[in-house]
Chain A
Amino acid sequence: MSVSDIKTGFSYKKLIVPAVLGLILVLLATLPVYTPSYTVVLMITILMYIILTVSWALFSGPTGYVSLAPSAFFGVGMYTAAILGKELHLAGMVIAGGLFSFVLALIIGAITLRLRGIYFAMFTFGLVVLIQQILLWWEITFTHTRGRFVIPVDNTTIYYIMLAIFVTLTLTVIFIRRSKYGLALQSIGQDEEAAAHSGVNVTLVKVFTFAISALFMGAVGAIVATRWTYIDPYIAFNPTFSFFPVLMSIFGGMGQLYGPYLGAAIFAYLEELLITNFEYYYMLIFGIIMVITIVFLPSGIVGLIQRWRMMKWWKGGLAKDDANT
């Protein structure tokens, strides 16, 4: 709840957020109709980063487990598209990509139950490079190729599938945040043992949420592969895609629901501006912002916004006091 809500408590304010969200959704849904195709392509990239980041924050935000596995699930989705692309309908392929990632995450979640902190981060990172190397060896030894081609799909279709994943993810995030389930998740992050003693089924909640977040990463991987059209183990299981969601979430701030959205959107746009001509400068800026965020803005942009609103509220309050006296 924000500060202004506490102060005024007007009921119409509660309608503003859903109304704005609805308007944004309508605008996004009709986007290909009134904008040039470049905007659609840009939005595909932005949505990709948002989905990866938000689904990362879905699990790692409340629990505090730093998962470096995103690119494993992202890559599984991509290979699903490459292998099953001919057999399945597009939507079926995306769902299959999600489901394979979901199953993989269930297994990984069950194996890593005892791992905490740095150990969990290391294991999940190891997973990415392990799959990458096994796959590379397999492709070179048995299929005698290195990469695979994915059947391309037109951008508008990709955009709408991305949007569908995005909306589903957002609804899931809101649902989890507002339900008892989300509370259980947060209690795990604060003290796992205490959560278990209060009757939370820690194992189930942890593993299931991890798998849900992987589901979305796998689905987005499957659809992104149709845009990239060529993949190989180094492209699909690129560790950078494990780091991005972490850094973008922290930059955005995980204290509020919209933080990861904000962080991912800003970076995706920045990447679009800089990557073609100044790739190294983009990554350099990325690193610098990263360090600055961790040192000076531990709660990200969201924290900054909240601090600013708090200050405004304080000043407003003081001004009113002056008027009264």
Chain B
Amino acid sequence: MLVTILDILVAGLLLGGIYALIAMGLSLQYGVARVFNVAHGEFIMIGAMVTWTFYTIVGINPLLSAVISGPVIFVIGFFLYHTLFRYLRTKSITHAAFESNSMLAAFGLLFIIQNIALIIPRWGSEIRGYTYLASPVNIGGAIFAANRLVTLLVAVVIGLAFYLFLMRTRMGKAIRAAAQDAITARLMGININLVLALCFGLGALMAGLAGVLISMCYPVHATMGLEYTIIAIIVIVLGGLGNIPGSFLGGFILGLVGSVVTYFEPGLALVAYYLIFMLLLILRPAGIIGK
């Protein structure tokens, strides 16, 4: 019995690590850069597919390939904001207009990135996967594959590193200021376009890294993005829209919920997610951790 509970808890934490990472990325993009990026999952997909390609064709260690693909994805995200979303921001009259315009542009991006991935010859629409670090590890009676523990560890390290960056550095302070009020932050001498583009790029980077981790444990395919986007959206609503530490915690909460429901009825895990999501939207849109 005790082992079962431990089993469920550890599984929830392992799942939660990935959720926390992808949600934190989306939270940065929506909470600070104000882009409701529905193409978030596509960056996860790019990270995962690139890692799979490197591992199966060239034989590069997944964690090592993250060092290469991470910066590339960051640069893509940074320039996407600097061109497309920045242009939309200056052109939109109101705040609400920018939110809906950028969401719709992100829909366009979703279709573009996903279908380019489907056209790339080696990627296609088949489900791919590889085994890496699959050796079992025993945690107090509960047995898990080593790669999933690595996943959790990396997610927590990235989360903590980012938190320190946000709280202890000058740039982190600028990001927090921009999250509170972009216009006032600009008046205080913050280069707002740089900060927002940086946030969008960092969000994409986190998605890419999450993709690397996901590819180590789960099957990957070119159309996997949307389901992770939906999970990220649920988590950021859970943690409170725009609340970055909240979304990190929210990821673990959702992971635990997922593993508890999966234990009783595997077919209902997603149903539970969506139900929580919709109830939260109606009853507590500020999130459970929110003010």
Q: Is A129 in contact with B101, judged by CB distance below 8 angstroms?
A: no
Q: Is A122 in contact with B107, judged by CB distance below 8 angstroms?
A: no
CB of A66 closer than 8 Å to a CB of B: yes
Q: Within the complex, what minimum Cβ distance (angstroms) separates A65 from chain B?
A: 10
- Nearest A residue (CB) for B88: A295
- A130-B274, A295-B105 given; 6 more Cβ-contact pairs under 8 Å: A112-B282, A122-B281, A126-B277, A137-B271, A281-B115, A287-B108
Q: Is B267 in contact with A126, judged by CB distance below 8 angstroms?
A: no
Residues of B within 8 A of A243 (CB): 107
Q: Which of A114, A287, A290 has the most CB of B within 10 A?
A: A287
Residues of B within 8 A of A288 (CB): 108, 112
Residues of A within 8 A of B104 (CB): 66, 246-247, 250, 290, 294
Give the residues from 215 to 242 in chain A that come closer than 8 angstroms, CB to CB, to chain B: 239
Residues of B within 8 A of A173 (CB): none
Q: Is B267 in contact with A136, judged by CB distance below 8 angstroms?
A: yes
Q: Within the complex, what minimum Cβ distance (angstroms) separates A299 from chain B?
A: 12
Q: Within the complex, what minimum Cβ distance (angstroms) separates A184 from chain B?
A: 20
Chain B interface size band reads 35 or more
Q: Which of B118, B226, B271 has the most CB of A within 10 A?
A: B271
Interface residues of A (CB under 8 A from B): 64, 66, 111-112, 114-115, 117-119, 121-123, 125-127, 129-130, 133-134, 136-137, 140-141, 239, 243, 246-247, 250, 280-281, 283-284, 286-291, 294-295, 298
- A194–B87 Cα distance when bound, in Å, is 31
- Nearest A residue (CB) for B92: A298
Q: Is A295 in contact with B87, judged by CB distance below 8 angstroms?
A: yes
- A121–B99 Cα distance when bound, in Å, is 11
- A133–B99 Cα distance when bound, in Å, is 28
Residues of A within 8 A of B271 (CB): 130, 133-134, 137
Q: Is B36 in contact with A118, judged by CB distance below 8 angstroms?
A: yes
Contact residue among A117, A250, A289 (Cβ-Cβ distance under 8 Å from B99)? A117
One digit per residue, 1 when the CB lies within 8 angstroms of any chain A CB and 0 when it does not, for chain B 240-275 equals 010000000000000000000000010110110011
- Nearest B residue (CB) for A141: B267
- A103–B56 Cα distance when bound, in Å, is 52
Say yes or no: A121-B278 contact (C-beta < 8 A), given A137-B268, A291-B112, A294-B88: no
Residues of B within 8 A of A64 (CB): 100
Q: Is A283 in contact with B111, judged by CB distance below 8 angstroms?
A: yes
- Nearest B residue (CB) for A123: B281
Identify 25 residue pairs between A and B in the complex whose beta-carbon atoms are under 8 Å apart, listed by A's number. A66-B103, A119-B281, A121-B100, A121-B103, A122-B277, A123-B281, A123-B282, A129-B274, A136-B267, A137-B268, A246-B104, A247-B104, A283-B111, A286-B111, A287-B108, A287-B109, A287-B112, A290-B104, A290-B105, A290-B107, A290-B108, A290-B111, A291-B84, A294-B101, A294-B108
